Amino acid sequence: MHGFVAQIAEARPIERLNRLARAGWRTDAKFNCATIGMASCQPVTRSDTEAQLIGLAWLANRDEICDGLGLDTKASHLQDFDLIARLWERDGSAFVHQVNGGFSLLVYQPETGVVDCFRDPFGMFPLYYTQQAEHLTCGSDLRAVLHLANAPLTADLTRLADYIVGEEIDRSRTAFAEIRRVPAAHILRVDGQNAPELQAYWSLPDPDEISVEAAVSGFKAPLQLACSACVGGAPDGVGAMLSGGLDSSSVAGLAADQRAQAGAAKLPTLSFTYPGKPYDESPYITAADAQFYTDPEHIAVTAAPDLRALPGIVEEQMDLFLAYGLQKSRAIYHVGRDRGLRVLLDGHGGDEVVSHGYGRLIELAAARQWGALLRESRGVSQVYGSSTLQLFLLLFGKFARFKPKGLPRRAIMRLARRLHQKEQRGEPEFDSKTLLSDDLRAWLSLEETPRYDCTEKNGDTPAELRQQERFEHRRNLKAPILEHAFEVLFRAAGAACILPLYPFFDQRVVRFCLSVPAAAKLQGGRTRWVLREGLGDVLPALIRKRRTKADFGDEFRDAVQRFAQMTPIGHSLQAGARPIDLLRPEIVAELEHRVGELQHSSADVLRAYWRLTVLRDWLDACTRWTKLQAAGKLM
């Protein structure tokens, strides 16, 4: 695993540091800190001010930084953390504007008592903090922060309610009331005189839109640079996930090319296969294996995940997590470790960074380009096997020149709703908000201050509708769920001593993709068209032309139903400093009944049940962790 924790306090938490040392952490009693894995701690000096730099760093623009510091770009004796230290000594807190990569860092200046904490722009590395009366504790490892701070393990009821509903809204809360996270792209400053202050230092770029032709011809270069940075000169111990989808295939193909050009060994790839299942991706994986310079390993999955393993995952994560496929991700990390890998490249985020281009449908409807809308709707509906007519009618009824309450519009919208209900196979939708108890709703003041279903929406003027895809693209990249997902994957990979890297979240790739016009994202009924065309010389034709995504809904249904038969949730869950009921028992009973009766996949029902299962296991774990804490033991 990789992590750090530090405490700024007059008293020395010697015994708690010793417990971390016995668990394998490197401790420094002088600065009340502990590190493990790639994390480091070293003194730095700027303008005769001495400070201590502690944390984690991985640089995607290492050569650029070396050049700016006047160093040989092949200065392999310097770790990325060392380069960050030199940047801070030269630029102070402004170093964050020079760095492209992941970092979670703390700078402590003993003379002034000032503490600055820095988290990278997308939140690839976690960063938590808690301020008690006598100390400030910060770190990238949630368990270590809780332990060193000896903070109460009281549940944050707002975070629990969000989890029950299935929404990630707050970028600062954790499941523990006393622990906060530093949001991505923020600096936390604590000076001992004022309340901790969070300040954003970065926001998504807003580049000018380029032409479709420039988008296609320019797409490969930034992603190639990003993959090259991750491979890092083709060292041993670097591999890639390969699912057969567009994102993982793009990353694996470019990284493998880099290895081939360097004359290095083939790139190890790890792939899941599902023999005999409709969601088996073996044909696409095999096509990639045949074309790429890779050393593939196929991992056959013959049964749905066993949810009885969730308590162990809760123990590993410690925070609540919205990652329904996490059990399989964990498995692939451990296979990678057993193969001697230390770094795994992941295509995670390609959907958000490149964008499917769905906003273009609204742009076409608003412009009343009905032929183009029908063509693109047909392609979009094929991705998920949904109804082309339903999608088209929904937009046609909204944007055609009908009277708002006239008969034609009402008839069209009624038909669209019926087609949607047919797709649901008669299964009514489940609203997870109905699970919240009256006490919890009162705590949240939901009647006075609506919290859910408040997604940021674009305006409806002609000028705004013409930019709908750009708006949706940026909104998706700013969603809190992204940085929460990074934290979950970081902990899961760290448990297997793996560092996950995400080339699509290289700032060069993000900036370029934000300049791509809507017509290059969705064209000819193909989503992410610019990726398919821009990597035409990298991707096998079978992958480049594929229109569908694997649907694991039936696998998830089988896992949840099998577990539900063995282990009822229990209708009463309580939490809080003064415990209150979290759920409405009659709605939980209805949910359990619906899970048992499902004949087809119903994502909202299954996911709601899964979340309650995780929540129950987390509350049980909190009781156990509290006892360990009271006994003076490491949780």
Return the pLDDT at 100: 97
CB 605 within 8 A of CB 577: no
Region 112-117: mean pLDDT is 92
User: How many whole angstroms separate alpha carbon 130 and alpha carbon 407?
Assistant: 59
Question: Are residues 89 and 54 part of one domain?
Answer: yes
Burial (Cβ within 10 Å: 0-12, 13-18, ≥19) of residue 478? middle
Given a contact cutoff of 8 angstroms between Cβ atoms, the answer to whether 365 and 373 are in contact is: yes
DSSP string, 331-386: HHHHHHHHTT-SEEE--TTHHHHH---THHHHHHHHTT-HHHHHHHHHHHHHHHT-
Q: How far is the CA of 327 from the CAs of 239, 306, 335, 419, 488, in angstroms?
A: 20, 9, 13, 34, 11
At 370, the pLDDT band (50, 70, 90 cuts) reads very high
Strand, coil or helix: what is 117? strand
* Rounded Cα distance, 294 and 289, in Å: 7
Out of 544, 569, 589, a domain closes at 544
Mean pLDDT to the nearest integer, 411-440: 82
Q: 3-state SS of 508-573?
A: HHHHHHHCCCHHHHEECCEECHHHHHHCCCCCCHHHHCCCCCCCCHHHHHHHHHHHHHHCCCCCCC
Is pLDDT larger for residue 571 or for residue 63?
63
Pair 54, 187 in one domain: yes
Sign of the C-alpha dihedral computed for residues 314, 318, 324 and 326 taken in this order: negative
Residues 564 and 489 in one domain: no
Residue 510 lies in a domain: yes
- Answer yes or no: is 423 within a domain: no
Does residue 224 share a domain with residue 172?
A: no
Least confident of 129-133, 227-231, 531-535: 129-133
CATH of the domain at 505: 3.40.50.620
Question: Is the pLDDT assigned to residue 106 strictly greater than 60?
Answer: yes
**Does 374 fall in a domain?**
no
Residue 80 annotated as part of some ligand binding site: yes
pLDDT of residue 233: 58
- State whether 134 and 262 are in the same domain: no
Confirm whether 429 is domain-assigned. Answer: no
pLDDT at 457: 86
Q: What is the pLDDT of residue 354?
A: 97
Q: What's the pLDDT score for residue 551? A: 83
Residues 28 and 117 in one domain: yes
Q: Do residues 509 and 230 make contact, with C-beta atoms less than 8 angstroms apart? A: no
Stated as kind and residue range, the H or E segment containing 613 is: helix 603-630
426, pLDDT greater than 70: no
| Predicted local distance difference test score (pLDDT) of residue 490 | 96
Q: What is the pLDDT of residue 420?
A: 72
Among 485, 510, 544, which residue terminates a domain?
A: 544
Q: Which of 6, 17, 261, 22 is nearest to 116 (CA)?
A: 6
What is the model's pLDDT at position 450? 82
Using the predicted structure, report yes or no on whether residue 95 has a pLDDT greater than 90: yes
Residue where a domain stops, chosen among 141, 175, 200: 200
Token output for 455: 């997604």
Query: Is the same domain home to 216 and 336?
Result: yes
CA distance 5 to 136: 11
Residues 138 and 157 in one domain: yes
Which run of H or of E encompasses 397? Answer: helix 388-399
Residues 153, 130: contact at Cβ < 8 Å?
no
Does 400 have pLDDT greater than 70?
yes
pLDDT at 268 over 70: yes
Q: Are 196 and 183 in contact (CB under 8 A)?
A: no
Q: Say if residue 26's pLDDT is above 70.
A: yes
Task: Please report how the helices 370-384 and 359-366 are oriented relative to each other, as an axis angle in degrees rounded to 10.
Answer: 160
What token pair was written down for 323?
């990652």
Predicted local distance difference test score (pLDDT) of residue 566: 84
441 pLDDT above the threshold of 90: yes
Q: What angle do CA 17, 22, 24 make, to 5 degrees?
A: 95
How far apart are the C-alpha atoms of 178 and 199, rounded to whole Å? 20
- The pTM of the full predicted model, rounded to 2 decimals, is 0.94
Reported confidence tier of residue 425, pLDDT bands at 50, 70, 90? low
Say if residue 217 is in the same domain as residue 329: yes
Q: What is the DSSP letter of 127?
A: -
Q: Tell me the percentage of the chain whose pLDDT exceeds 70.
A: 97
Residue 441 maps to a domain: no
108 and 140 share one domain = yes
Note down the domain range covering 586. 553-630
**Rounded mean pLDDT of 472-481?**
95
> How many whole angstroms separate alpha carbon 99 and alpha carbon 102?
8
Segment 54-90, tens digit of pLDDT: 999 999 999 999 999 998 866 667 899 999 999 999 9
Q: Is residue 377 part of a domain?
A: no
pLDDT at 539: 97
113 or 182: whose pLDDT is higher? Answer: 182
The pLDDT of residue 193 is: 77
Confidence band (pLDDT; 50, 70, 90) for 433? very high
Q: How far apart are CA 38 and CA 82, in angstroms?
A: 12
Domain count, the chain: 3
Whether the per-residue pLDDT at 286 is higher than 90: the answer is yes
CA dist 105 and 51 (Å) reads 13
Whether 216 and 171 share a structural domain: no
Instruction: Identify whether 279 is part of a domain.
Output: yes
Q: 123 lies in a domain?
A: yes
Q: 541 — alpha (psi -120 to 50), left (phi > 0) or beta?
A: alpha
In this prediction, residues 241-257 reach a mean pLDDT of 96
Position 234 pLDDT exceeds 60:
no
Both tokens assigned to 532: 């398919």
CATH number for the domain including 109? 3.60.20.10
Predicted confidence at residue 622, as pLDDT, reads 95
pLDDT at residue 299 in the model: 94
Least confident range of 272-286, 304-318, 446-460: 446-460
Amino acid 432: pLDDT: 94
Distance in Å from the first CA to the final CA of the chain:
16
Q: Mean pLDDT in the chain?
A: 91
Do residues 174 and 57 both lie within one domain? yes
